[in-house]
Structure 1
Amino acid sequence: MTTDQEPQSNDAPDLICLGAIAGAYGVRGEVRLKSFCAEPEAIADYTPLTSEDGRQSYAVTLTRPIKNGFAARLPGVETKEEADALKGLRLFAPRDRLPALPDDEFYHADLIGLTVVDTGGTELGKVRAVMDHGAGDLLEIAAPGASATVLLPFTREAVPTVDLDARRIVADPPEGLF
C-alpha cells in the first residue's frame, strides 16, 4: 500500500528523501548508496538529487549493485576520504518529479503526521513513522498523552480509509491494540 520513501524534510516540504549515502565503497571515491525507492534502481531516474536544505546538488551515477544498495559515483568525489565525509547524507528529489500513485498507494512522507481516528471518530493519535520489516508496512502511532507508541498494521482491514486532503486516517484496529 505504500512506496518506500523516507519521511520528507520539515525544512523543505516539497522534497522527498529517496536515498542516503552509507559511506565509501572501495578507495577510488565511489559511495555506498541506499535507495528508499520501491524499485531501488529508480533512484537514478531522479538525478540530480539534492541535500535536505536544497543547497547542494548531486548527479548520481549508479555503477553496480552491492549488498544493501548500490555503488555510485558523485562528481567531484575522487577519494575514499571524500566519500566517507558524505556518510549519512540524505538525498532528496522534488515531489513534482515523482510519479503520481494509484489511489491505494501512498508515499511514506504523506502519511507521517496524519491524525488517526477509530471508526467512531475518537482520536487514537498521530502517525509518527511508517516501518517496513519485510512482512508489510506498520504505522507507528503516538497516542495523545502517552509516551509509548503503538504499531498498527497498514492493511485494508486495519486501515480502511486514508484521506490525505483531510489529513486523517480512519482505523479499525485489532481488539485491545489501543
Structure 2
Amino acid sequence: MSDENKMILVAQIGGAFGVKGEVRITAFTADPMALMAYQPLLKADGTQALTLLSARPDKAGVVARVKEIATKEQADAARGQKLFVPRDRLPEPEEDEFYLTDLVGMEARDLDDTAVGTVKSVQNFGASDMLEIAPREGGPTWYLPFTREAAPELHLKDGWLRIVRPTEVDERDEA
C-alpha cells in the first residue's frame, strides 16, 4: 500500500446522542473538531462511512449531525464503527513528530545493526503502543513495546529503527 493510500483511524462512532439522530463520535485526533476538515470519513476499506453536516465539541470528541443517519435507532446501530481518512488528507507532522502508521514497513535492526524484521503493524491493546514485528527469516510475528528502551533509535527518513529484542524472543530463536 502506498503512503497516499494508507488509512488512518481517526474516530469511532459511540452511538446516539439524544433522540433526533445525532451521533456521539469519539475522536482520536488532537483537535476533535478537525474531523470536519477530514471529510468524508471512511470505512477501513475506503468506502464512505459518514459525512458530518455539523459538529460540536463533546467530552470524548464531537456530537454530530451526519448525512447518513437520521434516527436514534440508526445511530445506535452504527455504534462501534471505526472511521478512517487517507494519510495524505492529514496535515504533515511537525519536525520530530510522526504518525504511528508511518512506522509500518520500516526495517527493524538489532543493536549489532542486523536486520531482524519489518514492522508489520502498530497495535494498542490498552496499555501502550506495540510494534508487531514480522521476522526476516519468516515464522510467527512478535510484539515489542514502542518505548524509548525497546526502540531507542528511529530513522524515519531512512526507513529503519533500532530495537532491543525481548529476552523471550532471543531464547525462542535459539531453541
State TM-score, norm by structure 2.
0.71
Dislocated runs of 4+, deviation >6 Å: none
* 3-state DSSP of counterpart to 1:106: coil
| Cα distance per residue 1:50-88 (max 9 Å; x no partner) | 23333325322323403x333222124221111122223
Aligned partner of 1:155 among 131, 145, 148: 148
What is the aligned-residue RMSD (CA, Å)? 3.2
Q: 1:37 to 1:156 in 2, by over 3 A?
A: farther
Question: 2:122: which partner in 1?
Answer: 129
Which has a greater percent of helix?
2
1:34-113 residue pairs with structure 2 within 5 A? Answer: 34-56=26-48, 58-60=50-52, 61-66=54-59, 68-113=60-105
Pair 92,157 (structure 1): closer, same or farther in 2 beyond 3 Å:
closer
TM-score under structure 1 length normalisation: 0.70
Q: Secondary structure at the match of 1:19?
A: strand
Q: Which residue, 106, 112, 128 being the options, matches 1:114?
A: 106
Deviation at 1:14, TM superposition (A): 4.0
Larger radius of gyration: 2
Q: Letter of the aligned partner of 2:130 in structure 1?
A: L
Give the match's secondary structure for 2:83.
strand
Unaligned stretches of 5+ residues in structure 2: 170-175
**Preserved CA contact (<8 Å) 2:151 2:161:** no
Higher relative contact order (CA 8 A, sep 6+): 1
**Aligned with 2:101: secondary structure?**
helix
**Structure 1, unaligned runs of 5 or more:** 1-8
